[in-house]
């Protein structure tokens, strides 16, 4: 079991992350700060060595036997203890050792002169280990003594400085766990207070069931992340509540639609069994029953189409279509129903517009609008179909527009938002006598939107309804 799986609570994981990140930052800060401090101290030591080297140049003298020496008594004061511990070496230009102080002894400070050390215009700086393993910081400079060039080298041991730095790092890292423990405690308390609204939301969410989808989570601060989460969850509950309500209405409507033809079949069948009937009467009874069965079959097929559409199982066959040609084909199929009521259907097309869509489903949508217009227009009425082109206000591109105007009773404004819902019927204009299921407009809406278009409703000039389909033109 991993460390993360052991700390399953969000509060524990956030606190652990906080401590780990803080520990890493503090460790990096300690190392970085000590390295910077060490660099500053060595830089100061380098400058101090330069000053000491310049002082030594003035204290260097030649004895009567020709050897070199330094007036060491200059550094007899206690404050010059560090200078007394310096390592000093004087070389000729060819590398011959001319002088070494007592502390350096027989050891050398870097061997023969390097090319960079023989430049009088600058001080040369090096860090290395001398014999015995002692690490030193050396400064060298070319000096003229009685016209002859000599190389002066002065070095300080940096091991005490390194020891102090290591000691400082050790002390800081010893104190680090105690600081992290205090930070962990404070972080745990702070995270707990920060997550308290989340716990309240979880407790409220546990109480929400399918029968209480109207409940909502509390939103203390809508501008922070938890408030945003609560608002998103509340919107989800709203959509679920609406979906459940639609499902309840859909179930009730389907039950009602199925119960009606089943009751008709049962009543006709029972009536036929109660009395002896002639063969002609039995054929009439069977014909009535078959009509109701056909009604059930049509409704079932329509519901299956809607179900497949909702599940995304319908594959559209997109192709370039003539909007005028497709509309005339749909009119020819519906015209028989219009002739039975003495109605006329006229098609007005400004130009031959083309769209890219699935022919079968788009034609079904147009036929459903025409069938709806025929059903709810009075006998002898006129249905106007017009095709035009316009520029879309949403996309700024051209689109083909199909308008279907009837001369029926019209649809009130408050009903227009629900007219495309499944099984939706208005009391005064839709009834079982019309032979519909209340699914035609729902199918039409899906078909148009699946093809990238929009469908809407408005009032026609005759006072009836105008259904409008708009699709991107090509």
The confidence band for 432, taking pLDDT boundaries of 50, 70 and 90, is very low
Q: Which of 30-44, 134-148, 199-213, 426-440 has the lowest mean pLDDT?
A: 426-440
H-helix or E-strand containing 197? helix 196-206
10-163 is a CATH 3.30.450 domain: yes
| 109-156 pLDDT per residue, tens | 888 888 888 888 889 998 999 888 889 999 999 988 888 899 999 999
Q: Which of 2-16, 133-147, 267-281, 314-328 has the lowest mean pLDDT?
A: 2-16
How confident is the model over 42-68, as a mean pLDDT?
A: 85
pLDDT at 29: 93
Q: What Cα–Cα distance (Å) separates residue 37 from each residue in 26, 175, 456? A: 16, 19, 75
How confident is the model over 79-98, as a mean pLDDT?
A: 76
For the chain, percent of residues with pLDDT exceeding 90: 32
| Region(s) of the chain under CATH 3.30.450 | 10-163
pLDDT at 84: 53
| Region(s) of the chain under CATH 3.30.565.10 | 318-472
Output 82 or 385, whichever has higher pLDDT.
385
225-310 is a CATH 1.10.287.130 domain: yes
Q: Is 257 helix (H, G, I), strand (E, B) or coil?
A: helix
Contacts of residue 333, defined as CB under 8 A and 6 or more positions apart, other chains included, come to: 367
The confidence band for 304, taking pLDDT boundaries of 50, 70 and 90, is confident
pLDDT at 425: 63
Strand partners, 140: 124, 153
How confident is the model over 23-28, as a mean pLDDT?
A: 93
The confidence band for 72, taking pLDDT boundaries of 50, 70 and 90, is low
The pLDDT of residue 412 is above 80:
yes
Q: Tell which CATH architecture fits domain 318-472.
A: 2-Layer Sandwich (3.30)
**11: its two tokens:** 């509060």
Question: The pTM is what?
Answer: 0.51
pLDDT at 452: 92
The residue among 180, 183, 89 whose CA lies nearest residue 131 is 89
The confidence band for 95, taking pLDDT boundaries of 50, 70 and 90, is confident
Output 197 or 402, whichever has higher pLDDT.
402
- Residue 305 contacts residue 443 (beta carbons within 8 Å): yes
pLDDT at 379: 92
């Amino acid at each position: 079991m991993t460390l993360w799986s052991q700390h399953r609570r969000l509060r524990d994981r956030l606190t652990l992350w906080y401590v780990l990140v803080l520990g890493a930052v503090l460790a990096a800060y300690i190392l970085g700060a000590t390295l910077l401090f060490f660099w500053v101290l060595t830089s100061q030591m380098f400058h101090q060595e330069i000053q000491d080297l310049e002082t030594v140049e003035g204290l260097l003298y030649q004895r009567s036997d020709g050897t070199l020496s330094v007036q060491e008594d200059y550094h007899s004061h206690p404050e010059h203890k560090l200078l007394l511990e310096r390592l000093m070496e004087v070389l000729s230009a060819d590398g011959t050792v001319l002088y070494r102080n007592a502390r350096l002894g027989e050891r050398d400070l870097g061997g023969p002169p390097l090319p960079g050390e023989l430049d009088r215009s600058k001080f040369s700086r090096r860090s290395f280990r001398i014999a015995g393993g002692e690490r030193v910081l050396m400064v060298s400079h070319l000096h003229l003594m009685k016209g002859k060039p000599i190389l002066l080298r002065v070095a300080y041991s940096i091991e005490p400085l390194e020891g102090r730095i290591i000691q400082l790092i050790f002390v800081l890292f010893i104190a680090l766990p105690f600081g992290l423990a205090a930070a962990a405690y404070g972080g745990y308390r702070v995270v707990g207070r920060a997550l308290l609204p989340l716990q309240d939301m979880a407790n409220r969410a546990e109480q929400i069931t399918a029968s209480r989808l109207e409940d909502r989570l509390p939103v203390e601060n809508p501008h922070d992340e938890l408030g945003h989460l609560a608002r998103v969850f509340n919107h989800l509950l709203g959509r679920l509540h609406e979906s459940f309500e639609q499902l309840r209405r859909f179930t009730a409507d389907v039950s009602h639609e199925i119960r009606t033809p089943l009751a008709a079949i049962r009543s006709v069948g029972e009536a036929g069994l109660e009395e002896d009937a002639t063969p002609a009467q039995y054929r009439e009874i069977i014909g009535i029953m078959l009509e109701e069965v056909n009604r059930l079959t049509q409704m079932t097929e329509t519901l299956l189409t809607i179900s497949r559409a909702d599940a995304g199982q319908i594959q559209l066959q997109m192709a370039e279509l003539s909007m005028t040609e497709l509309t005339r084909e749909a009119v020819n199929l519906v015209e028989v129903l219009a002739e039975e009521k003495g109605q006329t259907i006229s098609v007005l097309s400004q130009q031959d517009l083309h769209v890219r869509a699935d022919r079968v489903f788009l034609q079904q949508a147009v036929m459903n609008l025409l069938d709806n217009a025929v059903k709810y227009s009075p006998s002898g009425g006129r249905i106007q179909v017009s095709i035009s082109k316009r520029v879309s206000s949403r996309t700024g591109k051209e689109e083909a527009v199909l308008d279907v105007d009837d001369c029926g009773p019209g649809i009130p404004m408050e009903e227009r938002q629900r007219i495309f819902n499944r099984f939706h019927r208005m009391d005064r204009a839709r009834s079982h006598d019309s032979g519909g299921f209340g699914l035609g407009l729902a199918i039409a809406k899906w078909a148009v939107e699946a093809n990238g278009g929009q469908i809407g409703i408005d009032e026609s000039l005759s006072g009836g309804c105008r259904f409008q389909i708009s699709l991107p033109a090509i």
